[in-house]
Structure 1
């Protein structure tokens, strides 16, 4: 056991019981005081108001990987067909830009927002066979390829609080990479943390206010917390096998929200709580996600 590692059996609650096929993309919207998340395979956008317990859902026109609040008060979504404005009042999705019109077998998978309002996002091969997934940056008008080598399934990305380190996940290889970022340009990746196959596969990542990295483990039934130096700090067991991502929110940003999936379970295994959203408390708070810049 690594020195300082704490396996925490903490109080975990289920806050949404919709049993998503592929729950993903949790994002705390500080302005609205709600949690956005998606069900990729069912093409649904979900919004949960933890204060009232009210949940609402919208149909998306294609597989949807994430929804992020924007500077203009609206929202931007990552669809299989590209980035789009999303209006929850009308349910309309208005196309903005498509990074891969030549790769119809790919889809957008996960994203984050940099301090300058740019969106860093990844794509992946929807059938999980070809190494066609890349990491891109959208500055509000144009999309640029990060130059990071393609993989089959990208996850993350997430950024350090100051925006100088991009955490990019190669899920199949079981590696979280740390990539230096300067002036919107990505540098040379280095291995930040490796997940042993028997522990699961690293899925979505996010960072807290101290620069620690949370990761959901697909097939691992837990979320892990890594220090900025890559050492393992904490593991939280959760009541589903496939944990996809953790977002920190609430009034003090000390409430973790973890999404999960009900697909990909071993044959004959009881789905139980799979596909639900879970919550637990953390010691180190998160921080408001920067608002996305749209032209």
Structure 2
């Protein structure tokens, strides 16, 4: 990053992805991983060296979440696989929602306890057939539990730094919901956390103060909300489709932003030639260190 001005986005990788999504900062590599869902590509970008590596996946990858053994849990259209960046290979296919062939996995996160939360959606973005799931791995293997349903396009999810609140978006409804997470992982006290009037809530993360940062599809900004739902001033972006942010850098105060070209008219793309690229800016509050999916935990 060359800019030191707070909240001033700059394009750091002129990638022009069709549907850039799912950024995660891997501190040990000082690199950002993210995906282009529609192009079935996985990207790794190292800001210090500008090194950019790309892998082709066997199908669309909606999210990548780091696992304790150095691999990633990859959300594929019909289930979960393990991706190993050291070999570029995929393995351990676990089917999710076999009874709903129109659905696909969409977004996910790792909570402070090392468990994964992810959602599904109707691939045609028409029916409220999506659900929210939790994954725990113990000595007997992988356990996937169902926790909520009725989402047309589930997005997020994100967990508060204390690990006690889950945030989930239903993007077409322009709504972010909040749940309390019980000790056993069940959800309770569903409530509306925030609504967007302009654009649609996409990926969300929380920072070290519990503020919720939300990419806005069609909204051209990163929206921000205090833990009580009060909206803070947004961060304007130079492109319309803002998908998700990740905090990175040595101090976790660099905000990386993925974006998308999908659905933009030719006239809009002329005005936003870098739509789909990777952006970054500095902020004054640190993010939360990226958690890893805990095996046998």
TM-score range (shorter-chain normalised) is over 0.9
User: Contact 2:16 / 2:277 at 8 angstroms: preserved in 1?
Assistant: yes
Question: Is the deviation greater in 164-173 or in 79-88?
Answer: 79-88
- Tell me what 1:223 maps to: 222
1:117 corresponds, among 96, 102, 114, to 114
Deviations 1:28-61 (A, max 9, x none): 1122211110000001111111111101111111
Are residues 256 and 73 of structure 1, via their aligned partners in 2, closer, same or farther at CA, if it must alter by over 3 Å?
same
Matches of 2:106 and 2:152 in 1, distance apart?
A: 11
Hey, what's the Cα distance between the residues in 2 that align with 1:250 and 1:100? 37
How far 1:187 sits from its partner (Å)?
1.2
Deviations 1:157-189 (A, max 9, x none): 000001100000010011111110012111131
Work out the CA distance in 2 between the residues paired with 1:144 and 1:96: 17
TM-score (norm 1): 0.93
Report how far residue 267 of structure 1 moved: 5.4
**For 1:268, what is the secondary structure of its paired residue?**
helix
Is this contact kept in 2: 1:157–1:166, CA < 8 A?
yes
Give 3-state SS (helix, strand or coil) of 2:223's partner: strand
Structure 2: how far apart are the matches of 1:233 and 1:82?
36
Moved more, 93-102 or 61-70: 93-102
Unpaired runs of 5+ residues, structure 2, are: none
Q: Tell me the equivalent position of 1:273.
A: 274
Q: Distance in 2 between matches of 1:175 and 1:110?
A: 16
**Could you tell me how far apart the structure 1 residues matched to 2:54 and 2:116 are?**
23
Counterpart-to-counterpart distance in 2, 1:251 and 1:290: 16
- Distance in 1 between residues matched to 2:288 and 2:172, nearest whole Å: 29
Cα shift at 1:86: 0.5
- 1:4 maps to none
Counterpart in 2 of 1:3? none
Look up the match of 2:247: 248
Of residues 51, 56, 69, the one that matches 2:53 is: 56
Give 1:9 deviation, angstroms: 8.3
CA deviations over 1:80-119 (Å, ceiling 9, x no partner): 1211111112211113422212222211111110122110
Contact 2:177 2:194 in 1 (8 A): yes
Contact 2:7 2:283 in 1 (8 A): no
Instruction: Please list, as runs of the form range in 1=range in 2, the aligned pairs for 1:1-295 lying within 5 A after superposition.
Output: 10-140=7-137, 141-146=142-147, 148-183=148-183, 184-196=185-197, 199-266=198-265, 268-270=267-269, 271-295=272-296
Could you list the runs of 4 or more consecutive aligned residues of structure 1 that deviate by over 3 angstroms after TM superposition?
A: none
Contact 2:6 2:284 (C-alpha < 8 Å) held by counterparts: no
In the aligned structure 2, how far is the partner of 1:160 from the partner of 1:96?
A: 29
Distance 1:166 1:143 in 2: 17
TM-score, normalised on structure 2? 0.92
| Aligned alpha-carbon RMSD (Å) | 1.4
Q: Per the alignment, in what secondary structure is the counterpart of residue 181 of structure 2?
A: strand
- SS in structure 2 of the partner of residue 269 of structure 1: helix
Q: Does the aligned pair in 2 maintain the 1:122–1:134 contact within 8 Å? A: yes
Does structure 2 retain, via aligned residues, the 8 Å contact 1:97–1:143?
A: no
User: Against the structure 1 CA distance between its residues 167 and 208, is the aligned structure 2 distance closer, same or farther, given a 3 Å change threshold?
Assistant: same
1:246–1:258 Cα contact (<8 Å) kept: yes
Give SS of 1:239's match: coil
Contact 1:225–1:233 (8 Å) recurs in 2: yes
Task: Give me the whole-angstrom Cα distance separating, in 2, the residues matched to 1:10 and 1:245.
Answer: 15
Unaligned runs of 5+ residues in structure 1 are 1-7
State the shift of 1:240 in Å: 0.9
